[in-house]
Amino acid sequence: MSEPSPTTRQQEQEQIVSVTMDLARAGRTDDLVPFLDHGFPVDLPDPAGNTLLMLAAYHGHLETVTALVARGADVDRRNDRDQSPVAGAMFKGEDEVVRALVAAGADLDAGSPTARETARLFGQQHLVDGQE
């Protein structure tokens, strides 16, 4: 049996990235975790710079966010639009996800707009009050 061509290998890698991003976006933690536990890089970005954590946080999947953080996801890694996971969760009104990311050390002043700015804009100030 011959080795796959570099093009085939690249296509397979792109497909795996797409599948894992879809799993994070959909909050399918039980399906996503085996990829991570078998070596898929937790902070590998998609073509727009979104990580698994960004997608899970933005879509409000607390269990997935928690699993990713437990596996070392960078809570402050921003996408190509300079958006942080905590600001994305704040924008979407995902209070529990915001609390989990803050508890994991997320920087409320990272990115543009920051989570603090987003909280002010969307009436979520209660999530950042007292967080310095």
Amino acid identity of residue 35, one-letter, is F
What residues have CB less than 8 Å from 83, skipping those under 6 apart? Answer: 54, 111, 112
Burial bucket for residue 37 (CB in 10 Å: 0-12, 13-18, 19+): exposed
- Three-state DSSP state, 7: helix
Q: Domain segments of the chain: what residues?
A: 6-127
Intra-chain end-to-end CA distance of the chain, in Å: 59
Number of Cβ atoms within 10 Å of the Cβ of 34: 10
CATH code, residues 6-127: 1.25.40.20
pLDDT score recorded for residue 128? 79
**Which of these ranges, 3-12, 50-59, 61-70, 89-98, has the smallest mean pLDDT?**
3-12
What residues have CB less than 8 Å from 60, skipping those under 6 apart? Answer: 27, 89, 92, 94, 96, 97
pLDDT score recorded for residue 132? 52
Residue 111: pLDDT band by 50, 70, 90 thresholds? very high
pLDDT score recorded for residue 7? 84
| Distance of alpha carbon 8 from alpha carbon 126, whole angstroms | 50
pLDDT score recorded for residue 131? 60
Residue 124: pLDDT band by 50, 70, 90 thresholds? confident
Contact predicate 12/4, CB 8 Å: yes
